[in-house]
Amino acid sequence: MADPKAIAHVAIHDTVENILSGGGRGALLDVPSGEGALAQRLQRLGFDVACCDLYPEIFKLDGVEIRSGNLDSRLPYDAASFDVVVCVEGLEHIQNPTNAVAEFSRVLRPGGRLVVTVPNIMNIEERLKWLIHGYTSHFKPLSREKIEEARRDYPGMEEIALHVNPIGYSELRFLLEKYGFELNGTYVDKPKANSWAFWPIVLPIKVIGKLSSSSKRKARWTDELNSNEVLLGGNTLIFSATKL
């Protein structure tokens, strides 16, 4: 069997691996797993890896269990089965991210770790694109032409190519806290090129945010939303959280 190829950008896998390199090992679920490229890296890191995907037929990693599963429904695992759950490039492809986060909480043991990614629709470049075009880079209109293109590229598996649910920092953090997670940190895949060019816009946003009282900033996550990771970050936000 050929080596699995990464569907996500390699920089995302690098960051996930760095996040998980510290701390203990244990049973890890990678969902959606794609061909198994990230699972292969995490297995080499010392985790006992299990994989799940809507299309297990594309999985190419020998010696690792792969199950058919849908993030929009119940995952095929018992409660408290895993010490770590990793979800890279999954939530933006499904109809119900709320269900997915609830399932991550269900299958994780108390104290377990979750690493989950979403496209960064909140960085300044994407905000300007929304202002000018009415859509962001990762969530272009799902026109008939776009859907037909996805069907040509992934026959019978167009969900792999289609981003249907724009979910940002605030929405994902809300879901994490709702389902019993504590956010440990937010990371980016890689620095965004030429981010310095946006500082004339970013600086006033940061200053205006600091004018609010500390209580309002805390309640509205102002400092987090105006952080460099979110406001100037790369194409992908990567969340690390712990199940309480």
Answer yes or no: is pLDDT of 23 > 90.
Answer: no
What mean pLDDT comes out for the span 101-111? 98
Q: Which two tokens stand for residue 239?
A: 């969340």
Please name the amino acid found at residue 125.
Answer: E
Q: Is residue 128 part of a domain?
A: no
Domains identified in the chain, total number: 1
**Can you give the CATH number for the domain in which 68 is found?**
3.40.50.150
Residue 36: count of CB within 10 angstroms of its CB: 25
Query: Taking the model in full, what pTM does it have?
Result: 0.96
pLDDT digits over 47-100, tens only? Answer: 999 999 999 999 999 999 999 999 999 999 999 999 999 999 999 999 999 999
Q: Is residue 129 part of a domain?
A: no
* DSSP strand pairing (236-243 vs 27-30): unpaired
Under DSSP, the state recorded for 212 is: S
pLDDT given at position 43: 97
What mean pLDDT comes out for the span 23-52? 97
Q: Is residue 171 part of a domain?
A: yes
Q: Is residue 186 part of a domain?
A: yes
User: Cis peptide before 32, with omega less than 30 degrees from 0?
Assistant: yes
Q: Is residue 138 part of a domain?
A: no
pLDDT digits over 141-156, tens only? Answer: 999 999 999 999 999 9
Residue 21: count of CB within 10 angstroms of its CB: 10
User: Residue 185, SS3?
Assistant: strand
Parent domain of 70:
10-121+156-193+233-243
B/e letters for 41-79, b = 16+ CB within 10 Å, e = fewer, are bbbeeebebbbbbbeeebbbbeebebbebbbbeebebee
| Residue position matching structure tokens 């900033």 | 217
> Closest Cα to residue 20, out of 38, 35, 4?
38
What mean pLDDT comes out for the span 191-203? 90
pLDDT given at position 63: 92
Q: Is residue 214 part of a domain?
A: no
Q: What is the rounded average pLDDT for all residues in the chain?
A: 95
pLDDT given at position 2: 65
* DSSP strand pairing (236-243 vs 108-119): antiparallel
Q: Is residue 168 part of a domain?
A: yes
What mean pLDDT comes out for the span 24-41? 97
pLDDT given at position 120: 96
pLDDT digits over 155-183, tens only? Answer: 999 999 999 999 999 999 999 999 999 99
pLDDT given at position 131: 96
Q: Is residue 210 part of a domain?
A: no
Per-residue pLDDT band for 1 (boundaries 50, 70, 90) equals low
Strand partners, 117: 238
